[in-house]
Amino acid sequence: MIRLFLIPILFLACASESPKPNIPMPEPPQPTEYTFESTPSWSDEFDYEGLPDESKWSYDVGSENNGWGNNELQYYTEKRLENAQVGNGVLTITAIKEDYEGLNFTSARLVSRGKADFLYGRFEVRAKVPAGIGTWPAVWMLPTDWAYGGWPASGEIDILEHVGHDQDVVHISVHTEAYNHAIGTQKTATRKIEHATTDFHRYRVDWTPAYIRGYVDDMPIFNFPNEGGGFQVWPFDKKFHWLINIAVGGNWGGQQGVDDGAFPARMEVDYVRVYNLVEN
């Protein structure tokens, strides 16, 4: 009797306790991290005189009538020192108010397409942007082959953008089919910095298979992870190339009009550099 009575009590006591298996809890998954070589694999230090190096740079030529959109007001010229000149250790892109090919402004848009195309790496530019309402300078990247279709399906990486009506606020962004400004879903970060128009600052993007991260003067401001959702969210597995330009007005740059007194407007670029991704 005593044994029969005790056994169920002991059994019920044991059954009421939570099981405690001796299995350690797994660690949270860690994101893949990448490093980069310390010496640039490609660069332009702009340590020469005259037109930009033809072995590294070509030009997009024309206006919004070429299908570039954005309702910009400038005509992009080719091999014209007034708009793109190297000297005193810097590249100077100059937007000028003048009558040219039926438009009221000229500027330049340098591209490395077909001469320097990249898949992954660290991309850095040291630059000083122009002041003035209506200016819209940018250092950015576009796909070379447009493998996934026209913009924005094949992607865009903006390393530096600045609009003159928002003085000293710089932007780093990406655009894809799922994330772009046309539908209000763009992935972007902004940073207010001192003297963006009077001092040089370093703008950088680290582009890897797992993430794109952006930095201003080595301070992280932007992070876009690869969600694994296909090219609609991550078309960044194809080669891209550099673009350097000043646009005038446009859907964003001209939101508060264009101050003619801001021209000529100059962006100075000390260097552009690419550091190879280290395969971990």
Enzyme catalytic residues: 156, 161
The answer to whether residues 127 and 271 touch, using CB atoms and an 8 Å cutoff, is no
Identify which of 35, 19, 223, 42 has the alpha carbon closest to the alpha carbon of residue 124: 42
- What does DSSP assign to residue 131? P
The answer to whether residues 207 and 123 touch, using CB atoms and an 8 Å cutoff, is yes
State the CB neighbour count (10 A cutoff) for residue 183: 10
Residue matched to tokens 């892109």: 93
Q: H helices of the chain, where? A: 2-15, 250-253
Q: Work out whether the CA dihedral 114, 120, 126, 128 comes out positive or negative.
A: positive
d(CA 92, CA 86): 6
State the CB neighbour count (10 A cutoff) for residue 158: 22
Q: Which residue(s) pair with 224 in the sheet? A: 212
